[in-house]
Amino acid sequence: MDTPIVIAVLNARYAHTALGVRCLLANMGELRSRTLLEEFLIQDDPQRIAEQILSHRPTIVGISLSIWNTVPSGQVISIIKKVAPEVRIIVGGPEVRWAETPPHGADVLIRGEAETVFPEICARILEGMTVPKVVEGGLPDLKSLVLPYDEYDDEDLSQRIIYVESSRGCPFGCEFCLSSREDKLRRFDIDRLLEKLETLIARGCKGFKFIDRTFNVDEGHWSRILDFFYEHWPRDDTGNLVRPISTRQAALGSVRGESFFLHFEVVPDRFDDKLIESLVRFPAGGIQLEVGIQTLDPVVGERIGRRVDVKAVDHSLSRLKTGTRVYIHADLIIGLPGEDENGFARSFDSLRAMNPDEIQLGILKLLPGAPIIRHAEKYSMTFNPEPPYDVLQTDCITYSQMQHLKRTAKYYDIFVNSGKFKGAMDFLMSRGTSSFRAFSEFSSWIYRRIGKDHAVGQPRQYEAVLNYLTNETDLDTEKSAGILIEDFLSVSSPRYMPECLRPYMS
């Protein structure tokens, strides 16, 4: 059988799997047997990617574009059009959801959800018929779609993150998010979904990362899903639910064990007694909740269409921390319109006091089509014209300040979210009146000495923290080393102890 259609996507990491292109593949109908999926990495050579795609001698190539892959994907499209101009290229995905013309020299652009129109366009091309340059995918009836979970192969299930969706859209209007342009929340048929999840479990799948924007807004929906996983959760010989080895590693797709790992994105002020009672059944680290805080300033929140109730957020996180064993990943955004560095610091300090397990410091991005563009002129917001479209400066954060804040966000991930320096970072950030200011000073010190915010090896990380604690705080070298030794032994074996700490081991 020939393969006239190749669906291709460039992922950010090998551990990631692309759910969207599998949705296309599952809904190809009569063309399914003549359609092939090819996944690559954004680090791969564009010429090699083009060669691999063209080795199948396709008539049509469909390419999914997202913010992280649009540049290398554009290079691949350009190469294919130069060496095989007869190949018709169809593009779609979140990056071009609101585009006016096909980008990168592609032939057809599908805007919106493409499961129903992509097979139709392919059939027309194969029959020699003309097709428009721009096609509206619209919002298909989710009950009519073929679910994509049979398209995950055995390698995916054993080595990669399996993405799942039980709903699409969002009932809220946060202006930095593309979902704010949709006017409703749509759900997949829960019985059909659970049947497919049961099949994945039978095939050995242990990790499920739900991409729903608001998992916890409907009790009837989340309760069915949580009950399902509780019933199917692996148990030990005594009947207790098996817990993961490491929540963070499981979330990154870097460990496999006998336990399940579940990830849900939740609304911070929607945790009632029933949801807490449902979550408390699960073992420590078995469930990660991504809590989208973004800002704890009610004025800034109202400005961007996001309701902020600080007391409700504090109450919810407190109940989760004291009443369950879930892992809480909370998000904040740097660079929101009208929020200066001091305002962000206040949000951070308030959130850290609520004690989530992890705080992700994100940088505001101007996603193509996002309504937040309406604030750009009033707040003098300048954005990077190239992906990832991150904010460069605003009326209250200079370019230099923004660069520092971006480095601070990266260092926070390295030194705090990694969990390797818990004692040291807790001590460091307890100094002074602001935990954010304390870490910001540390970030400035680190950058002056290392000169980069990525590819910093672990030995150098420990050396840097040891020097900072010794030279910039009231701790002497022995006490500083003692904190770091305790930190290291909490996550690793003494045999791998960094050289800078070995002289201080008892």
Give the model confidence (pLDDT) of 249-279 as tens digits. Answer: 555 555 556 889 999 999 998 899 999 999 9
- List the structure tokens of 268: 């911070």
Asked whether the beta carbons of 446 and 411 are under 8 A apart, the reply is yes
- List the structure tokens of 140: 């298909």
Give the sign of the dihedral formed by CA 163, CA 166, CA 167, CA 171. Answer: negative
Give the sign of the dihedral formed by CA 185, CA 145, CA 116, CA 97. Answer: positive
For 104, phi then psi, to 5°, come to 60, 20
The CATH label, of 2.60.130.10, 3.20.20.70, 3.80.30.20, 3.30.70.270, for the domain at 152-397 is 3.80.30.20
- List the structure tokens of 82: 């130069």
pLDDT given for residue 84 in this prediction: 97
For residue 272, give the DSSP letter.
-
Query: β-pairing, 185-187 with 167-169?
Result: antiparallel
Give the model confidence (pLDDT) of 433-452 as tens digits. Answer: 999 999 999 999 999 999 98
Distance separating alpha carbons of residues 99 and 258, to the nearest angstrom? 44
> Which CATH homologous superfamily contains domain 5-142?
Response regulator (3.40.50.2300)
Instruction: Return the residue matching tokens 């290291």.
Output: 488
pLDDT given for residue 269 in this prediction: 86
pLDDT given for residue 250 in this prediction: 58
Instruction: Return the residue matching tokens 């795609």.
Output: 53
Distance separating alpha carbons of residues 138 and 116, to the nearest angstrom? 9
Distance separating alpha carbons of residues 469 and 477, to the nearest angstrom? 8
Question: Which of 336, 305, 450 is CA-nearest to residue 402?
Answer: 336
- Tell me the domain boundaries of the chain: 5-142, 152-397, 421-506
Beta-ladder partners of 111: 136
Angle between helices 458-472 and 477-489 (to 10 degrees): 140
The parts of the chain modelled with pLDDT lower than 50 are none
- List the structure tokens of 495: 């045999």
Distance separating alpha carbons of residues 374 and 136, to the nearest angstrom? 24
Round the CA-based radius of gyration of the chain to a whole number and report it. Answer: 24
- Residue 359: in which H helix or E strand, if any? strand 358-363
